[in-house]
């Protein structure tokens, strides 16, 4: 048992992996959640161990309530939960709304919205002073798409990230007096694998001219903001959304 447990959903790759490594280096025992890629999750755990940290990989689909309950139950055995990074999310192939099926919408909303809400619910049950907890930090992963709308690319993805904005603001105020801080980061164009899902080869490079800083961001740069929001350095910050987008948002 330890006194600093952090759950990172979708923690095996991209921003989630970078956040997991930084939390591990900061002394948290990290629960690296993953949906399917066990090798990537084990790689993240090994990387945390290599830098002297502690971590475990736990499989679970955040679109399924039973999997979420099992994930949090497994984390309970390690110690009291102090951090949830609500990172798991998907982006589908480039499409207009009038080309989207109900199945596509349901799948994306189940993962990006329902999963995040259920994970936040379980975190509040454990962190809130109302429930006997000692407080904690929830960091949601938003996107500049929630501001820009992602027209012609994936308005359903943008809408799901808009839901993260509302969850952050509303829940942040709801549990502020219970010792829980709820914040979000809003990444812009970040060099991660998620862009491959859009089916647009080289999308990151193509977007550079549209970014005021003329470059894409890195997963580590987003993870630095996440770590700050989990730390005592942001002790008076809640219900806030931090853009990490090179000025494009």
| CB hemisphere CA count around 214 (13 angstroms) | 0
Pick the catalytic residue from 28, 34, 157, 236.
157
Task: Evaluate whether 160 touches 142 at the Cβ level (below 8 Å).
Answer: no
Residue 34 bears catalytic tag: no
HEC string for the chain: CCCCEEEECCCCCHHHHHHHHHHHHCCCEEEEEECCCHHHHHHHHHHHHHCCCEEEEEECCCCCHHHHHHHHHHHHCCCCEEEEEECCCCCCCCCCHHHCCHHHHHHHHHHHHHHHHHHHHHHHHHHCHHHCCCCEEEEEECCCHHHHCCCCCCHHHHHHHHHHHHHHHHHHHHCHHHCEEEEEEEECCECCHHHHHHCCCCHHHHHHHHCCCCCCECHHHHHHHHHHHHCHHHCCCCCCEEEECCCCC
How far is the C-alpha of 9 from the C-alpha of 141, rounded, in Å? 10
What is the number of other CB atoms lying within 10 angstroms of the CB of residue 183? 24
User: Dmax over Cα atoms in the chain, in whole Å?
Assistant: 51
Active site residues: 157
């Amino acid at each position: 048992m330890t006194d600093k447990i952090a759950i990172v959903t979708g923690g095996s790759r991209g921003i989630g992996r970078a956040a997991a490594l930084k939390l591990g280096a900061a002394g948290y025992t990290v629960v690296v959640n993953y949906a399917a890629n066990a090798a990537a999750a084990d790689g993240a755990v090994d990387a945390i161990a290599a830098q002297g940290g502690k971590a475990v990989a736990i499989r679970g689909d955040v679109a399924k309530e039973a999997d979420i309950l099992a994930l949090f139950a497994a984390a309970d055995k390690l110690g009291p939960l102090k951090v949830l990074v609500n990172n798991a999310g998907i982006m589908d192939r480039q499409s207009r709304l009038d080309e989207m099926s109900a199945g596509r919408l349901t799948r994306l909303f189940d993962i990006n919205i329902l999963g995040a809400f259920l994970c936040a619910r379980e975190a509040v049950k454990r962190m809130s002073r109302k429930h006997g907890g000692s407080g904690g930090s929830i960091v949601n992963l938003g996107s500049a798409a929630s501001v820009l709308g992602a027209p012609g690319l994936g308005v359903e993805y943008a809408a799901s990230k808009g839901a993260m904005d509302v969850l952050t603001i509303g829940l942040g105020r709801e549990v502020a007096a219970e010792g829980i801080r709820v914040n979000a980061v809003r990444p812009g164009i970040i060099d991660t694998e998620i862009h491959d899902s859009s089916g647009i080869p080289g999308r990151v490079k193509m977007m550079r001219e549209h970014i005021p800083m003329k470059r894409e961001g890195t997963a580590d740069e987003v993870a630095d903001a996440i770590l700050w929001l989990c730390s005592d350095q942001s002790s008076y910050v809640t219900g806030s959304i931090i853009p990490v987008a090179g000025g494009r948002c």
